[in-house]
Structure 1
Amino acid sequence: MKTYSIKTLLEGGGSFLENKVLINAWVRAFRSYRFIALNDGSTIKDLQVVVDSKFSEEFLKKITIGAALKISGLVVKSRGKEQTIEVLAEKIKIYSETSPEVLQGTILQPKRHSLEKLREQAHLRFRTKFFSAVMRIRHQLAFSVHKYFHKRGFLYVHTPIITASDAEGAGEMFRVTSLDLKKLPRNSQGQIDESQDFFGRSTHLTVSGQLEGESAAMALGKIYTFGPTFRAENSNTSRHLAEFWMIEPEVAFYELSQNMDLAEDFLKYLIGTILEHCTEDLDFLNQRFVEEQKQKPKHDRLENTLVERLEFVNRMPFIRLSYSEAIKILLASKTHKKGQFKHTVKWGMDLQSEHERYLVEKHFRAPLILFDYPVAVKAFYMRLNEDEKTVRAMDVLFPGLGEIIGGSQREERYEILLKCMKELDIDEKLLWWYLDTRRFGSAPHSGFGLGFERLVQFVTGMSNIRDVIPFPRTPKNAEF
């Protein structure tokens, strides 16, 4: 007898009628010792299994919510309205028993739980309809990332997780060491002797694979990275994680405008695949999204449903606007004139989330790409414009989220890059190899970084980034 996933059975519907099948799944509900709702994670929908009197009451009492079962039975037309088929159980094997007492206090109980409660039991939240829907969408997005780049001739490059350089220059990095913290070796100046460490120098978990990715792009043409990155920023907010995943393409011979084209096309492709392949999970999350919006103050609500928002972004051309023009719009806005922005608006400032969301949600009501930012607010590797006041940076802004992509045309001119590093007190000896790429066959090149969890957050409508990653790593939280 062949084993089928519940997704396969439900999608096949009538084609399985009068066939005997084998199912391995977990119990979502068990009504009246007669109807078992089974789910195996392949779909948000449950399969109903009908149990007849040949099974003893004593045996059926052992079947509890969350129990893992192996069931063989006959597929028949369902009498219920919720499904087209059901299975008449012929044999049931209980892989493990769980007493009702053990279930008390867990999120496996059949009732609505808060997202905070789900995070407290992160090892169990995969079993909820809500979180399993998010994870299936996350999977589809990850698969589509690789598919997109592969079809367009990009090579997937694995950049180091352990690094000696800080790509962002923020200094908020996790240290990697094999030294005994109770007996740290010291040099003659009383400082930690890092030459005795495993790598013979100070090393950290990476915040980005960009610098190494640039090196690869200068030989391979079009590359992308997709891996874990780390930031030791002590931020306990709904927007920050200490461990997250980044997608970073780098393309040789690309100017900033081409970089913007790539970012827009990439995002639309990913959103399109979700609208096409994840309809059931999206419908479920859409209902939750609508309910959540109703609970918010009127001024903070989003006008569209989750699905409408995705369809809107997918079909709308992204507006392209310089940073300087954006500042003019913000200064002329009623929100600014009434003093309703929390942060001061002036040229040279780093735009805050409230400013980004005003531009996207209130002024343009469309996805937006801002470009040509002031030198002072962007990283050292971004190409300096002719005005020497701005760099060829770009940020893609989405409704309800703000920045989803940050990128730039990279500074390919050796002398200018070296000068910028010196002005920012960046050790050129540490990044000698990065400078070297500007000495041998340097060429214009561009790239961007897409925070994968930010994308999953936007697509699923989740307000907290901790709810779109299996086990969130945040300050004082690494339990699971």
Structure 2
Amino acid sequence: MKQRISAVLGEQPVGQKIVINGWIRTKRDTGGFSFLEVNDGSCLANLQVIADKSLSNYEEDISRISTGCSVTVEGIVKESPAKGQSVELHAESVVVVGWAEPETYPLQKKRHSFEFLREMSHLRPRTNALGAVARVRSRLSWAINQFFQERGFLQVHTPIITTSDCEGAGEMFQVNTSSEISGKADKEEFFGKKAGLTVSGQLQAEVYALALGNVYTFGPTFRAENSHTSRHLSEFWMIEPEMAFCDLQCNMQLATEMLKYVLNDALENCPEDMELFDKFIEKGLIAKLKNVVEKEFAHITYSDAVEKLLASDKKFEFPVKWGIDLQSEHERYLTEEVFKCPLIVTDYPATIKPFYMRVNDDGKTVAAMDILVPGIGEIVGGSQREERLEVLEKRMIEAGIETEEYSWYLDLRRYGSVPHSGYGLGFERLVLFVTGMANIREVIPFPRTPGFAPC
């Protein structure tokens, strides 16, 4: 029977005849045997296959096998006398499914830089590190959906093409709706108005939260921001829960529980991959993540955070004063040097936050919260939404937003408004934190950044 290599290494079915498929990582010839290291992507470890010279196609095929070739192997599982492996597969047949030219195959057995691998997004998942990232990313995705489903949340698929700019920053990719697409010489708008790729599904998620209670979205978002940092992408995935009858405190509690849940799930279910990251990518990664899972998050207001930053001896590239948005260097200083643990910062100045955040009683700050983690800075950003019609309309006018264009959003406050809140978690930021990778381009299969869109 066909088996995945992860199952063979886990169950160790000694004495059984099995069939495996995979790709050759390395081959070593000695005496009358060839030792083939085969990997099928199901786990980090390879399965050693011993191919005897007596096999009928040994000279014709097996002797010519090289790194990158794909094979189907049938054989008997036996205990292995070799160090570092418990079982091996003694081949009764080896079929080469696809050849890989050794002269041109770029992934030979040596260390390759992530920058080099980035130039070949179509092959880099075959490497140990990027394969491990893919498995952990998949597990985190599963855990996020499991977390919300266990708590009765309904998943809502919000539109990728939208006519509303949630963040109000104008950094949207415009959808081409001219005659090039519509075939109309007068260049009439395809949707009747200007549209762009979504920067967030939050506003549409609010629609469903105020009808169904608790909902969440998990989908791609796009930012036309000309940023080349190791923390930014032009296309990325966002998790955005939205809860009716939920204030800021309720919001913070859910976000904290979710982070702890998914981190613990990755540690428990991806131990081999996590050990690779801990050993080769970020020393002490597992201990850092366990610290997040086990410890309470610190909590501080934005004003108190600014005071601590101003009182420090640290020289920051970006000056600190009340009313500015905290930069990554400020966030990391607070989490890594002051509190030494994840930190929730609340009550930001209204002037630096979007129009939909609820204004606090002081009239200067809003009921917003960011969760900051060591090594990354902000990983979650959220708020209680402004449920008061008059206050929301005033905020929109101050922000220069045409209230008529958002009449549907204001209707949510006209008809049965309730306190509600939500947050956004950039999925790639989460994967970056869990894997310890230094650049966000390594934790998404096909990164899109300014001037770069492979495959």
Given residue 145 of structure 1, which amino acid in structure 2 is its aligned partner? I
Match of 1:293 in 2: none
- Out of 79, 82, 103, which is 2:81 matched to? 79
Match of 1:190 in 2: none
What is the CA distance between 1:98 and its match in structure 2?
1.9
Match of 1:38 in 2: 38
Q: Does 1:22 align with 2:14?
A: no
* Distance in 1 separating the partners of 2:150 and 2:220: 23
Deviation per residue, 1:384-404 (Å, 9 max, x gap): 001000000000000000000
* Distance in 1 separating the partners of 2:322 and 2:453: 40
SS in 2 for 1:421: helix
- Out of 193, 206, 210, which is 1:201 matched to? 193
Match of 1:295 in 2: none
What is the CA distance between 1:184 and its match in structure 2?
10
What is the CA distance between 1:125 and its match in structure 2?
0.3
Match of 2:157 in 1: 158
Q: Conserved in 2, the CA contact under 8 Å of 1:173 and 1:232?
A: yes
Given residue 54 of structure 2, which amino acid in structure 1 is its aligned partner? K
Q: Conserved in 1, the CA contact under 8 Å of 2:203 and 2:409?
A: yes
SS in 2 for 1:383: coil
Match of 2:9 in 1: 10
Deviation per residue, 1:265-315 (Å, 9 max, x gap): 00000000011000000001111124xxxxxxxxxxxxx611111011111
* Distance in 1 separating the partners of 2:243 and 2:454: 39
Match of 2:130 in 1: 131
Match of 2:263 in 1: 271
What is the CA distance between 1:183 and its match in structure 2?
11
Change (3 A) 1:261 1:185: same
Match of 1:248 in 2: 240
Match of 1:322 in 2: 301
- Out of 99, 102, 109, which is 2:101 matched to? 99
What does residue range 266-415 of structure 1 map to in structure 2 within 5 Å? 266-290=258-282, 305-335=284-314, 340-415=315-390
Identity of matched residues, %: 52
* TM-score, scaled to structure 2: 0.97
Change (3 A) 1:100 1:242: same
Given residue 93 of structure 1, which amino acid in structure 2 is its aligned partner? V
* Distance in 1 separating the partners of 2:252 and 2:25: 46
Greater shift in the superposed pair: 49-58 or 236-245: 49-58
Q: Conserved in 2, the CA contact under 8 Å of 1:228 and 1:244?
A: yes
Match of 1:62 in 2: 64
* Distance in 1 separating the partners of 2:442 and 2:63: 34
Unmatched 5+ stretches in structure 2:
none
Deviation per residue, 1:405-455 (Å, 9 max, x gap): 000000000010001101111011111100110001000000000000000
Unmatched 5+ stretches in structure 1:
187-192, 291-303
Q: Conserved in 1, the CA contact under 8 Å of 2:121 and 2:454?
A: no
What is the CA distance between 1:34 and its match in structure 2?
1.2
Given residue 417 of structure 2, which amino acid in structure 1 is its aligned partner? S
- Out of 425, 448, 454, which is 1:473 matched to? 448
Change (3 A) 1:182 1:221: closer
SS in 2 for 1:268: helix
What is the CA distance between 1:185 and its match in structure 2?
7.8
Given residue 305 of structure 1, which amino acid in structure 2 is its aligned partner? G
* Distance in 1 separating the partners of 2:281 and 2:79: 33
SS in 1 for 2:94: strand
Deviation per residue, 1:317-360 (Å, 9 max, x gap): 0111100111111111121xxxx111111111111111111111
* Distance in 2 separating the partners of 1:476 and 1:183: 27
Superposition CA RMSD, Å: 1.5
Given residue 399 of structure 1, which amino acid in structure 2 is its aligned partner? P
What does residue range 166-177 of structure 1 map to in structure 2 within 5 Å? 166-177=165-176
Q: Does 1:53 align with 2:53?
A: yes
Q: Conserved in 1, the CA contact under 8 Å of 2:61 and 2:96?
A: no
What is the CA distance between 1:182 and its match in structure 2?
11
Given residue 155 of structure 1, which amino acid in structure 2 is its aligned partner? L
Match of 1:233 in 2: 225
SS in 2 for 1:83: coil
SS in 1 for 2:237: strand
* Distance in 1 separating the partners of 2:417 and 2:181: 47
* TM-score, scaled to structure 1: 0.92
SS in 2 for 1:431: helix
* Distance in 2 separating the partners of 1:180 and 1:114: 45
Match of 1:114 in 2: 113
* Distance in 1 separating the partners of 2:62 and 2:6: 25
Match of 1:464 in 2: 439
Given residue 41 of structure 2, which amino acid in structure 1 is its aligned partner? G
* Distance in 1 separating the partners of 2:151 and 2:47: 40
* Distance in 2 separating the partners of 1:419 and 1:185: 39
Given residue 84 of structure 2, which amino acid in structure 1 is its aligned partner? E
Q: Conserved in 2, the CA contact under 8 Å of 1:62 and 1:98?
A: no
